Amino acid sequence: MLEWGSILIENAKIMDKLTITQPDDWHLHVRTGKILNTVIAHTARQFGRAIIMPNLKPPVVTVEQALSYRQEILDALPTGSNFQPLMTLYLTGNTSVEEIKKVADSEFVHGFKLYPAGATTNSDAGVANIEAAYPLLAAMEKYRVPLLIHGEVTDAEHDIFDREKIFVDSQLSQITQQFPELRVVLEHVTTQDAVQFVESASSNVAATITPQHLLFNRNAMLVGGIKPHFYCLPILKREQHRQALVTAATSGNPKFFLGTDSAPHLTHLKENSCGCAGCYSAHAAVELYAQAFEQANALDKLEGFASFHGADFYGLPRNSATVTLQKQPWQVPASYGEADLSITPLLAGEQLQWQLI
């Protein structure tokens, strides 16, 4: 279902209203406690479901823990919300084949997240040696449990801007060769190299793309001063890569789908001499994607990317509700949450063109 309204301005037809099937967010951090309470309504306002990342402290490593985290999220939802959190477990060196079987049998847990140890926020418990985890990947392949990958190498000698490409070349290509039936989501792709890899891989390999990587290159973070609210991992890349991501997202290729990687951190922990990685984008996720798709003249491709491809890949039904976006500029607030718990959103204080109504 795709509908749009239009107005005629100087003989050019400009789309000003767009109704699409309700989207899902296939990569989301909501944390726990007060931060969860501050952010969850933003996601529930737009999305039917979201894949919830397990990188809490301590990480979510068992189905039992995921179920209690799921309940905490449900309890934090605004009254009447139908939002469904889709849980994941954090893959560690201690994950058992037994736990993988439990995930395969669970209605509520949808995959394992592989963080190379040290790659990003709360990844210390991640996998230090991926080859040592191959027996676990074999079990996931056998039981058809998706593996969600943070695709960056962590060795100190590699330049931070090359970490994704090196991971794809040295690790991911091995994984997909060894386990051709394993369902893999390469999360938050940021480079032309990752896009090309996913395009040429089998239909078992897909990728999510964030709004910040579609809208910005590394200049947004580094020109005119260091802008910590654009700092996330994988880090923003050069323009050539942003363009490759936009082409992939707007291509209609079902291997690419929406995953915000919205990652709330308290403002003072980002505006810090050692600031945390993560952009908070849940406040305006669909609006940000609409802006990126409009800039590429591809609003007609937004519904597939946002509402169909991810559900199809995970073998879940597409949502039946719809959401409507209207061209109606609005200003993003400077922050969300109480003073000592302030979270600065992506594009704080700036105008966005689209608004969910």
Q: Which residues are catalytic?
A: 261
Answer for the pair 261, 28: CB distance below 8 angstroms, yes or no.
yes
**Is 242 near ligand DOR (CB under 6 A)?**
no
Nearer to ligand DOR, 228 or 278 (CB): 278
**Is 222 near ligand DOR (CB under 6 A)?**
no
Shortest Cβ distance from residue 183 to Zn ion (Å)?
18
How large is the C-alpha radius of gyration of the chain?
19
Nearer to Zn ion, 261 or 294 (CB): 261
Q: How many amino acids of this chain bind ligand DOR (CB under 6 A)?
A: 10
Alpha-carbon span 199 to 33, nearest angstrom: 39
Q: Which of 278, 304, 310, 345 is close enough to bind ligand DOR by CB under 6 A?
A: 278
Alpha-carbon span 111 to 109, nearest angstrom: 6
**Is 152 near Zn ion (CB under 5 A)?**
no
Q: List the structure tokens of 92.
A: 């560690």
Nearer to Zn ion, 102 or 283 (CB): 283
Alpha-carbon span 131 to 172, nearest angstrom: 11
Q: List the structure tokens of 24.
A: 């899902």
Nearer to Zn ion, 261 or 287 (CB): 261
Instruction: Count Cβ atoms within 10 A of the Cβ of residue 108 and give its class: 0-12 exposed, 13-18 middle, 19 or more buried.
Output: middle
Q: Helix, strand, or coil here: 277?
A: coil
For 15, 285, 349, the CA distances from 291, given in Å and listed in that order, are 12, 10, 16
**Is 110 near ligand DOR (CB under 6 A)?**
no
Q: Which of 39, 63, 66, 232 is close enough to bind ligand DOR by CB under 6 A?
A: 232
Alpha-carbon span 59 to 124, nearest angstrom: 10
Alpha-carbon span 255 to 259, nearest angstrom: 12
**Is 164 near Zn ion (CB under 5 A)?**
no
Q: Which of 152, 261, 294, 303 is close enough to bind Zn ion by CB under 5 A?
A: 261
Q: Which stretch binds Zn ion (CB under 5 A): 15-23, 256-264, 267-275, 295-303?
A: 256-264
**Is 120 near ligand DOR (CB under 6 A)?**
yes
Q: Helix, strand, or coil here: 349?
A: coil
Q: Interface residues for ligand DOR in 27-66 (CB under 6 A)?
A: 29, 55
**Is 100 near ligand DOR (CB under 6 A)?**
no
Answer for the pair 193, 174: CB distance below 8 angstroms, yes or no.
no
**Is 335 near ligand DOR (CB under 6 A)?**
no
**Is 121 near ligand DOR (CB under 6 A)?**
yes
Q: Which of 97, 117, 277, 296 is close enough to bind ligand DOR by CB under 6 A?
A: 277
Q: List the structure tokens of 253.
A: 């290729």
Cβ neighbours of 96 (radius 10 Å): 12
**Is 281 near ligand DOR (CB under 6 A)?**
no
For 115, 264, 266, 267, 356, the CA distances from 337, given in Å and listed in that order, are 29, 11, 9, 10, 21
φ, ψ (nearest 5 deg) of residue 275? -75, 150
Shortest Cβ distance from residue 232 to ligand DOR (Å)?
3
Shortest Cβ distance from residue 259 to ligand DOR (Å)?
11
Q: Which of 145, 263, 292, 302 is close enough to bind ligand DOR by CB under 6 A?
A: 263
Q: Helix, strand, or coil here: 21?
A: strand
Nearer to Zn ion, 123 or 319 (CB): 123
**Is 150 near ligand DOR (CB under 6 A)?**
yes
The residues binding ligand DOR (CB under 6 A) are 29, 55, 120-121, 150, 232-233, 263, 277-278
